[in-house]
Amino acid sequence: MTKHKDNKTEEQILKAAQKIFQSKGMDGARMQEIADKANINKAMLHYYYRSKQLLFEAVFKKAFSLLAPQLNAILNDDSSLEDKIKNFTHNYISFIIKHPYLPNFIIQELNRNPDFIEKIKNNVAFPNINKFKLQVKNEVKASNIVSISAEQLFINILALNIFPFVASPLIKAFTDIDDKTYKMLLEARKKEVSDFIINAIKK
């Protein structure tokens, strides 16, 4: 973390910890399992990260700082609302397809410990909704879109983009869809979702 050189071991640990924590969560993860996956002695985990909690926080912060900046595309970009929605939806779904564990990991752990987000706010570039609020307000005032609050629209955009990844086992079961078909369905959502949203706010 601080005193160590460019160490390889430290990275190995973080990589292994990422995999284990992201698939099993803080409570389900075992230090021994992380050590095994990293091919190192368990004591090394403590040598580099002191405790399970700190190792977890390192993993969480990294995950969060990977996910959060993506939201700047919708919140702080200068493009038009319609372009934003199109681009964000396309890029975000592409991004999550490459990191399918991410949203669920973050949501799960934030629910386990909601106060944790305060710690994060001070350590990570944290997106802010203010600019987006202004933009939506203006579009509504100009009668370009239906009357909707920025918050509700933001929630809807996030919901439509993220939920299918978080709830995949549930959705697969209800729709009787296998893994392959589900992947195609997610792929199709890159366009489907933005069409859906844009239509929803059109007058």
Partner DNA sequence: ATTAAGTTTAACCATATGGTTAACAAAATT
Partner DNA sequence: AATTTTGTTAACCATATGGTTAAACTTAAT
Binding residues (CB under 8 A) for a second copy: these are 24-25, 27-28, 71, 75, 104, 106-108, 110-112, 114, 117, 121, 126-129, 146, 148, 151-152, 154-156, 158-160, 162-164, 166-171, 173-177, 185, 188-189, 192-193, 195-197, 199-202
Per DSSP, the three-state class of 41 is coil
Considering the complex, what minimum distance in angstroms separates the CB of residue 65 from DNA? Answer: 23
Give which of a second copy, DNA, none residue 84 binds (C-beta under 5 to 8 Å, depending on kind). none
Question: Residue 52 or residue 172: which is nearer to DNA going by CB?
Answer: 52
Considering the complex, what minimum distance in angstroms separates the CB of residue 113 from DNA? Answer: 16
- Contacts by residues 114-118 (CB-CB < 8 Å, ≥ 24 positions apart): 116/60
Give which of DNA, a second copy, none residue 11 binds (C-beta under 5 to 8 Å, depending on kind). none
H or E element, residue 22: helix 8-28
Considering the complex, what minimum distance in angstroms separates the CB of residue 32 from DNA? Answer: 6
Q: What are phi and psi of 39, to 5 degrees?
A: 55, 45
Residue 61's nearest CA partner among 5, 4, 6, 1 is 1
Contacts of 81 (CB under 8 A, 6+ apart): 135, 136, 139, 144, 145
Cα separation of 116 and 134, whole Å?
Answer: 29
Q: Is the dihedral of CA 163, 169, 175, 181 positive or negative?
A: positive
Give which of a second copy, DNA, none residue 42 binds (C-beta under 5 to 8 Å, depending on kind). DNA
Give which of a second copy, DNA, none residue 156 binds (C-beta under 5 to 8 Å, depending on kind). a second copy
Question: Residue 52 or residue 62: which is nearer to DNA going by CB?
Answer: 52
Cα separation of 6 and 188, whole Å?
Answer: 42
Considering the complex, what minimum distance in angstroms separates the CB of residue 102 from DNA? Answer: 22
Considering the complex, what minimum distance in angstroms separates the CB of residue 123 from a second copy? Answer: 13
Cα separation of 138 and 134, whole Å?
Answer: 6
Residues that bind DNA (CB under 7 A): 3-5, 7-9, 29-32, 40-44, 46-47, 50-53
Question: Residue 48 or residue 64: which is nearer to DNA going by CB?
Answer: 48
